[in-house]
Structure 1
Amino acid sequence: MTTAKDIMHPGAEWLPAHETLDRAAQMMRDLDVGALPIADENERLCGILTDRDIVVGCVAQGHDPSRVTAGDMAKGTPRWIEANADVEDVLREMKNHRIRRIPVIENKRLVGMISEADLARHLSDAQVAGWAEKVYEHRR
């Protein structure tokens, strides 16, 4: 059985909710990633911040990224997957919620992230195509 831990990118880092968006952008640059899980003061997942969130949700709205925090941007219920979850469970979770990245949790700690690139590297073309069809389908 292939698990989430088998296909994830290890070593993901939390972004504390109190960090500003300019600092988040610097972390994304330094880590060469487009998304960071947001952690509350107890290191619990409270959201995911993407580079697009910073641009569209902050800068394009005329806000100063040095004054807006990651916690200000965290909305909704974040999705995650257990490290020992079967890859079919990973795909189902991502398809059902139409998400392109998902944090991987083990013993209540962040151990990695699964992105589109990870899916493409580790799964069959049919699995990736089924995922992409659902995640990118146009909803009216």
Structure 2
Amino acid sequence: MSQNLRDIMTGQVMTVNETQSVQEAAAVMSTYNIGALPVVNSSGQMVGIVTDRDITLRTTAQGESAQTPISQVMTAQQVVQGTPDMDVHQAAQLMAQQQIRRLPVVENEQIVGMVALGDLAVQQQYANEAEQALSSISTPSAPQS
């Protein structure tokens, strides 16, 4: 019997508002030991995602201020996401294809959970898919210009 993301996702997801600073986002990441935060607007709708790598490459490396709004460094276009009813196998394939380690789970435009590659790896029946996804994710893609 296959499982849905609802069965394995982390339900308590920390988020940041698009108007908060990258310093605030980095502080949340540090406090909770996480590398990605869904970004929400004032209505609580997910509008993007910001990773520790986004902050490093789009803020620090560019000499931007720690007060730079998250909206300027987050990934907003085509944020890959799943739904609570999505099959875990489909999610693993999607993560491999898109080369992502974390998949936000969204229902009615609200973030309801997060699935990480590690969540797949600890589920014994998905260990092979997690391994395949990781090998796809770890394959370098062409540098972005």
What's the TM-score, normalizing by structure 2? 0.86
- The amino acid of 2:129's aligned partner reads Q
Native 8 Å contact 2:120 2:127 kept in 1: no
Residue matched to 1:32 = 33
CA displacement at 1:42 relative to structure 2: 2.6
Q: Could you list the per-position Cα deviations for residues 1-50 of structure 1 after superposition, in whole angstroms to 9, with x for gaps in the alignment?
A: 21111121220022110000000011112222111001123322221111
- CA distance in 1: counterparts of 2:19 and 2:87, whole angstroms: 33
Percent same amino acid at aligned positions?
26
Map of 1:78-117 to 2, 5 A cutoff? 78-117=79-118
**Counterpart position of 1:60:** 61
* Aligned residue number for residue 127 of structure 1: 129
Consecutive unaligned residues of structure 2, counting only runs of 5 or more, are: none
| Matching residue's letter, 1:78 | V
Give the CA deviation at 1:129: 1.7
Partner of 1:47: 48
Query: Looking at both structures, which has the greater relative contact order when contacts are Cα pairs under 8 Å and sequence separation is at least 6?
Result: 1
Note the C-alpha offset of 1:108.
Answer: 3.4
Any idea what SS the aligned residue of 2:61 has?
Answer: helix
Q: Distance in 2 between matches of 1:107 and 1:85?
A: 14
TM-score (normalised: structure 1): 0.89
**1:96 shift after superposition:** 1.9
The answer for unaligned runs of 5 or more in structure 1 is none
The total of aligned residue pairs comes to 139
